[in-house]
């Protein structure tokens, strides 16, 4: 297997982008990544794009070809493939791009992730997101996506004494980081009181425990590591990639509070990179809900199971903590255009490892982790990146 590096990144603004279409968003992110990388269109061997539900959000499937077309590559007939794994679609697309270069089949690949979620109404968006859950045995009976994570949260509170305030601290921290990110949907700090007293969505989770509905796209350019320096001064190497699956329905899991798919994916990535969690300088984790960040830092091995809430309370995960988590603002504050999220996480880590993160820069960051989850934990993909 060949080493692979990220040589270019691009991101659109995240938010309610009423004047931008699906096509405009993905073209913008792709163009930014390509310009950032120093490659030209003719150098691209293949494209991968992650989108959870373009069919329900904008009524369009077959978006592999659409993305190649709208980006101006239709006459070059570049192989273009869509990858889907609910909210992990972006992370999975990245992994497929990585494999295609590592295998020796391709040298340069563009990976994109996108979701245009605001072209449908709020309840339609909620229903579409619920298709990531088990439609027949969960959603049919009236459980919502926040409801599933709320059940994880309540069990976590029951077993480990995690508090509503600790959940709120996740939101406060991520908004603080997001306030420093010009691409974030909410560039605004919130208080612990606001986070604790927000409108109830699914007890014990309030509105401020939930990531928003977001339009946005992200893109990266991957290149065989041996050729990376031809195009780029600061290639960022992929040193580990892991993926795991689990039962579609939350109720069938071994343990309600543990995302075994995360544990599996993380171990796979750590093993490949020959590192352990202590070697990681920062992480972008899948905080679709505040409880998800607490579970993530446990399941990724940053803290012991059950100690995630305490870790947040002790400020271990803040920008100046010992393990900064979600420096971008996370899904909570940066926004969560579901198919784009996994790729946007890579963009943030690459930006940090290049030392270009401005006011939210983590000092001397060398190794970063991304953690992207689909559904309530049925799919998880973890990547490790290193500045070389």
Partner 1 sequence: MDSNVARFWRQIPQRYNLIGNQCGSCNKIFFPPRESCPYCRRKSMEKMHPYQLKGKGEVITYTIIHVGPKDFEEQVPYPIAIIRMDEGPQITGQIVDCDYHKVEIGMRVETTFRRIQEDGYTGAIYYGYKFKPCSVD
Q: Site residues (CB under 8 A) for partner 1?
A: 123, 126-127, 130, 136-144, 146-147, 150-152, 154-155, 158, 199-205, 249-252, 256
Q: Nearest approach, Cβ of 156 to partner 1 (angstroms)? A: 9
**Alpha carbon distance 108, 288 (integer Å):** 31
Q: Nearest approach, Cβ of 197 to partner 1 (angstroms)? A: 14
**Alpha carbon distance 371, 51 (integer Å):** 17
- 339's tokens: 């198919």
Q: Which is nearer to partner 1, 154 or 380 (CB)?
A: 154
Bridge-based pairing of strands 46-50 and 80-83 is parallel
CA distance readout (Å), 62 to 77, 117, 121, 167, 349: 15, 17, 23, 39, 29
Q: Which is nearer to partner 1, 94 or 145 (CB)?
A: 145
How would DSSP label each residue in 5-37?
A: EEEEEEEPPPB--TT--HHHHHHHHHHHHHHHH
Q: Which of 336, 371, 380, 383 is catalytic?
A: 336
Q: Nearest approach, Cβ of 245 to partner 1 (angstroms)? A: 12
**Alpha carbon distance 329, 327 (integer Å):** 5
295 flagged as catalytic? no
Q: Which is nearer to partner 1, 21 or 144 (CB)?
A: 144
Q: Which is nearer to partner 1, 109 or 205 (CB)?
A: 205
DSSP 3-state assignment of 144? Answer: coil
336 flagged as catalytic? yes
**Residue-level length of the chain:** 388
Q: Nearest approach, Cβ of 154 to partner 1 (angstroms)? A: 5
Q: Which of 87, 210, 295, 380 is catalytic?
A: 87
Catalytic center residues:
87, 336
């Amino acid at each position: 297997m060949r080493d692979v590096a990220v040589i270019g990144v691009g991101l659109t603004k995240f938010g309610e982008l009423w004047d931008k279409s699906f096509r405009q968003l993905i073209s913008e992110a792709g163009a930014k990544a390509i310009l950032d990388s120093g490659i030209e269109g003719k150098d691209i061997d293949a494209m991968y794009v992650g989108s959870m539900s373009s069919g329900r959000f904008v009524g369009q499937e077959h978006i592999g070809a659409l993305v190649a077309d709208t980006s101006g590559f239709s006459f070059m007939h570049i192989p273009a493939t869509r990858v889907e794994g609910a909210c992990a679609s972006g992370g999975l697309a990245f992994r497929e791009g990585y494999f295609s270069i590592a295998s020796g089949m391709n040298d340069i690949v563009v990976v994109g992730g996108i979701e245009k979620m605001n072209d449908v109404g709020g309840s339609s968006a909620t229903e579409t997101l619920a298709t990531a859950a088990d439609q027949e045995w969960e959603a049919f009976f009236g459980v919502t996506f926040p409801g599933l994570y709320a059940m994880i949260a309540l069990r976590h509170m029951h077993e480990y004494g995690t508090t509503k305030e600790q959940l709120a601290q996740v939101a406060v921290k991520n908004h603080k980081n997001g306030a420093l990110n010009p691409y974030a949907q909410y560039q605004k700090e919130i208080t612990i009181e606001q986070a604790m007293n927000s409108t109830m969505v699914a007890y014990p989770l309030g509105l401020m425990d939930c990531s928003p509905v977001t339009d946005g796209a992200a893109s990266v350019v991957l290149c065989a590591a041996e050729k990376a320096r031809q195009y780029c001064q600061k290639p960022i190497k992929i040193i580990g990639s892991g993926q795991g699956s689990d039962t579609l329905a939350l109720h069938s899991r071994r343990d309600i509070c543990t995302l075994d798919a995360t544990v599996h994916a993380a171990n796979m990535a750590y093993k490949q990179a020959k590192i352990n969690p202590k070697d990681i300088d920062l992480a972008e984790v899948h905080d679709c809900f505040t409880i998800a960040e607490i579970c993530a830092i446990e399941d990724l091995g940053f803290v012991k199971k059950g100690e995630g809430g305490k870790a947040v309370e002790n400020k271990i995960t803040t920008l100046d903590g010992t393990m900064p988590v979600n420096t971008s603002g996370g899904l909570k504050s940066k926004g969560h255009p579901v198919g784009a999220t996994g790729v946007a996480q890579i963009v943030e880590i690459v930006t940090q490892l290049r030392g270009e993160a401005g006011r939210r820069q983590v000092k001397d960051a060398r190794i970063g982790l991304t953690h992207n989850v689909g559904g309530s934990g049925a799919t998880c993909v973890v990547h490790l990146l290193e500045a070389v």
